[in-house]
Amino acid sequence: MFGRCILAAMLFLPGMTIAEPQVERGRASYYHAERFHGRQMANGDRFDARSNAAASRTLPLGTVAEVTNLENGQMRRVVIEDRGPYVRGRILDVSPRTARELDMTEDGVVRVEVRPVGMLPNRGRDGRAGTN
């Protein structure tokens, strides 16, 4: 009940706004297909190299984000399902499928823009990665 009162107050008090999702720019890489396929991710699901799963150190698990390759303008949606990357200077790891769709497999690491656009609804761990 208390939480609902706070939410209602936030909606009706003048001058209060809900923060816009932060757009982040940086470098992205991708998971090695054979090395990581089938391994457990931070959300408990198994990584599927054919999914649209991604890893971020800062975005909450379940975040849906648009990732744009700043070198060619290609954009794809991913779901944050894991933590990482653990290489300094990188902000995102994407699946091999997403890397192909963003045309980044040849370079391996590219400059990207990551724009959160929503959240997946809460769901139990179903043992399947990604939302395809």
CATH number of the domain at 53, please.
Answer: 2.40.40.10
Structural domains in the chain (count):
1
Residue 11 lies in a domain: no
CA-CA distance, 3 to 76, in Å (whole number)?
35
In a domain, 8, yes or no: no
Q: How far, in Å, CA of 53 to CA of 95, rounded?
A: 6
**Within a domain: 129:** no
> How far is the C-alpha of 47 from the C-alpha of 83, rounded, in Å?
12
> pLDDT by residue for the chain (132 residues), tens digit each?
444 433 344 434 444 444 566 999 999 999 887 788 889 999 999 999 999 999 999 999 999 999 999 999 999 999 999 999 999 999 999 999 999 999 999 999 999 999 999 999 875 444 454 454
- Domain-embedded: residue 127: no
pLDDT at 8: 40
5: Cβ contacts below 8 Å, ≥ 6 apart: none
pLDDT for the residue numbered 21? 65
Q: Is residue 76 part of a domain?
A: yes
pLDDT of residue 1: 47
Closest among 27, 29, 23, 26 to 99, alpha carbons compared: 29
Containing structural domain, residue 29? 21-119
8 Å CB contact between 40 and 74: no
Report the pLDDT value the prediction gives residue 9, as an integer from 0 to 100: 40
* 15 in any annotated domain: no
